[in-house]
Amino acid sequence: MARFDRLTVYNTMLETRLVPLFYHPDLDVAQQVAGALMRGGGRVLEFTNRGDFAFEVFGPLVKYCAAEHPDLIIGVGSVEDAPTAGLYLALGANFVVGPNFNEEVARLCNRRKVAYLPGCGTVTEIARAEEFGAEIVKIFPGESVGGPDFVKAVRGPRPWTRIMPTGGVTPDEDNLRAWFRAGAACVGMGSNLVRKDWVDAGDFGAIEDLMRTTLHRIASIWSG
């Protein structure tokens, strides 16, 4: 069962404006990464369902963070169907993210009052997802569907749409500024934040530092 209600999840995403995402098959490494992101100021974490038996890492990670980092909101990403979503909800996922929109996943999450952020690539897909209750839609892959210009174009006639681009988002100030100036509500960031070379080297301090720096840049952009 989710420890955080849907409104808390959405509001936290909109407050921090950054949703880090990563996957690693080793539980100890996943715990280290989660801790680094939390110490760097992160409050939300998306663990992606990308590897074999990823759920076997996810469950213990949720329990670990509940004990060691109780304020960290953990959800699951790369979910394409309701059975997969149900599995992760049973393991404590606080939100569900998908590369696509799936009506059955939307119904399941609404039934359980869990935030669902589906991936969309067109205005029609975005509108359909919103009809099923999506408060924040993920555009994926963000850079390939049109980048910041796509966000700006959608938000022109649809200012109520909250968009989280994932794919093509980097910690660089110019990149972040482009997305947020275009109207992104928050951004998802994976390998550009949780860098593979740092993970392989066990340099979790570097991840923590970059997380802190990135959040500072985002805050400066919004206050400027």
Question: Which segments of the chain are extended strands (E)?
Answer: 18-22, 44-48, 73-77, 95-97, 115-117, 119-120, 137-139, 163-165, 187-189
Whether 56 is catalytic is no
Q: Does CATH number 1.10.287.990 belong to domain 6-218?
A: no
**Do residues 107 and 132 make contact, with C-beta atoms less than 8 angstroms apart?**
yes
Catalytic residue flag (residue 46): yes
Q: Give the pLDDT confidence of 104-154 residue by residue, as tens digits.
A: 999 999 999 999 999 999 999 999 999 999 999 999 888 899 999 999 999
- Of 46, 130, 135, 208, the catalytic one is 46
pLDDT at residue number 143 = 87
Q: How far apart are CA 119 and CA 136, in angstroms?
A: 10
The helix (run of H) or strand (run of E) holding residue 83 is helix 82-90
pLDDT tens digit sequence for 50-82: 988 999 999 999 999 999 999 999 999 999 999
Q: What is the DSSP string of 38-72?
A: HHTT--EEEEE--STTHHHHHHHHHHHHHHH-TT-
pTM over 0.85: yes
Across the range 163-181, mean pLDDT stands at 97
Catalytic member of 130, 135, 138, 208: 138
Annotated domain spans of the chain: 6-218
